[in-house]
Amino acid sequence: MYRSAFMALAILTAGGAAAQGFNQAPPNAPDQTPAFDGQTRAPVLSDTPLSRQVIADGLDHPWGMAQMPDGAWLVTEKPGRLRIIAADGSLGEPIAGLPKVDARGQGGLLDVAIANDFAETRRVWVSFAQPREGGKTATAVATGILSADGRQLQEMNVIWQQQPAWKSTKHYGSRLVLDGEGGLFVTTGERSDPEPRVYAQNVRATLGKVVRIDPISGAAMGDPGVAEALPEIWSWGHRNIQGAALGPQGELWTIEHGPKGGDELNRPQAGRNYGWPRVTYGVEYSGQPVGEGVTQLEGTEQPVYYWDPVIAPGGMAFYEGEMFSDWQGDLLIGGLRAGAVVRLQMQDGRVTGEARHVQGIGRVRDVAVADDGAIMVLTDAANGALIRLTPSK
């Protein structure tokens, strides 16, 4: 059934060169079928030529970014550095005052966010892989004040720590999203290995979760709906959420890495279980089923959309701006494996089309929409770059 739908889509779109691309790749799990029409392999949208301008390069595996009111960008680098890239592209020295990070494996300094009233408060948040006792690590969040000269973070406090810590250097998450209602969403990973991954289903742990906390104190502001659950938990059953953003109505959306196949776009709602590792549209890297190989299970939520093969998603942003008038409300996603900006056309909470833009640009770790409507991307490399995308003239 899945293969028939796949072949039909290929025939319908065969008139365009894009049809010979990403939707032609065979799935890793050919016997799995989507739960509803349009849940995967949406119709291929035509590509749009984009102009690229390298704003700054020489970045060491940049991970997250946030635009400041003056047009400059705060950018994190995985080894544990936070820098300011000015509007003219000049690259500042590393900002002092960050907490110690563990940069092994997939760890390091991860996301950065700034307060809506940053012009007055200069408040900044960062997420990072925190070294813990006995060689263990865990995701953590800290907040502080960026000095007026932009050289140091002051009054830095670690306000939240993932529990339990684990001897793993994988699957930390982690995106930071201020929800506009006084809370801070933090996304986490389940640390990947078979032993810790089961904690994604444990509501007494914060592995494989979306949590919601007070952005200043770190106090719990979740809504798990389960009496025994940790009060900061918002949703659970996630694998490794490295993308999160508020949608057009202020609702939270996330995107997470699947195993071999099964990258997921979700709209996490309070008190809901998103299945991992009991439910997935992927398989183990060995090709064997994950658990019982189940794609649907009562009591768990279906992804809005999934990919098999994977795109290996990074950060994400909903487009709102003037440069791309036809893209209002579309979802832009960094594709690490895809090596592109993945655009999903959205309608009534569903995906109605998919495009891959600037293919070959490199591993896109994060995507943001600049104040002027340009699309900004970070490429994840030893010589990573902040790149500005605009419509080709």
Active site amino acids: 171
C-alpha 171/C-alpha 192 separation (Å) is 6
The answer to whether the CB of 113 falls within 8 A of the CB of 143 is no
The answer to whether the CB of 63 falls within 8 A of the CB of 380 is yes
C-alpha 261/C-alpha 265 separation (Å) is 13
Tokens matching residue 392? 């080709």
The answer to whether the CB of 199 falls within 8 A of the CB of 135 is no
Tokens matching residue 326? 């036809």
Q: Is 86 left (phi over 0), alpha (psi -120 to 50) or beta?
A: beta
Amino acid at 29: A
Q: Reduced to 3 DSSP states, what percent helix, strand and coil does the chain have, rounded to the nearest 5? A: 10, 40, 50
Any idea which residue has 């997420």 for tokens? 127
Main-chain dihedrals φ then ψ at residue 3, nearest 5 degrees: -65, -40
The answer to whether the CB of 48 falls within 8 A of the CB of 391 is yes
**HSE (CB half, 13 Å, CA atoms) of 211?**
32
The answer to whether the CB of 166 falls within 8 A of the CB of 196 is yes
C-alpha 98/C-alpha 157 separation (Å) is 10
The answer to whether the CB of 305 falls within 8 A of the CB of 340 is no
The answer to whether the CB of 332 falls within 8 A of the CB of 346 is no
Tokens matching residue 266? 């979700």
